[in-house]
Amino acid sequence: MPALAAKRLGLTGLFVLQGLCATFLGFEMLADLAGWESRTSLRENDMFEYAVVTALLVSLVFTGREIFRLAARNTRIERQLQAASGAFQELLAEHFDEWDLTTSERDVALLAIKGLSINDIAGVRNTRDGTVKAQLNAIYRKAGVTGRPQLISLFIEELMGRTPQAEGTPAE
């Protein structure tokens, strides 16, 4: 069983245990408040109540530890995402500088990488479709790619720590 599935099963088990303990203690509380003195043999033994409370406290400790661990992991992942986002911005700037893109070409390239259509880019930039097409062609030529998919692939491959492979060249 993979570690994540085992952890999920363990947390589910703790949740069920806490639910059972809370249900038992709730019924016990209602019985005490209602003054029902007819105790079953299971409830006659205070040791069972102690065991239920102990199980509840132990499961709460484990659950609390897991919550804090998950919160720390979430914080770490958020920091990594911020770093990756910053790294991507730096990577874009480096390539745009290397390709000697104009300010307009930089804007168009960024919008194209974000996935906007030519029509949408023209709308955002308040220009004509033909202008955007010409700018995209200039960007592709300067970047040494044939189109948007190769442009995007160039950045993805670099972020993944690989150098882009030429078409038809086997990967190492």
Distance CA(95)–CA(26), nearest Å, equals 65
10-59 residue pLDDT tens: 888 888 888 888 888 888 778 777 777 655 555 556 777 788 888 888 88
8 Å CB contact between 75 and 57? no
Q: Is residue 169 part of a domain?
A: no
Enclosing domain of residue 42: 3-79
Which of these three, 79, 107, 134, is where a domain ends? 79
Q: Is residue 90 part of a domain?
A: no
Q: Is residue 126 part of a domain?
A: yes
Average pLDDT on 153-164 reads: 72
Distance CA(9)–CA(109), nearest Å, equals 47
155 CB-near residues (< 8 Å, 6+ apart) = 88, 91, 92, 95, 113
Tokens, residue 20? 């059972």
Which of these three, 51, 79, 107, is where a domain ends? 79
Domain count, the chain: 2
Q: Which CATH number characterizes residue 143's domain?
A: 1.10.10.10
Distance CA(162)–CA(115), nearest Å, equals 22
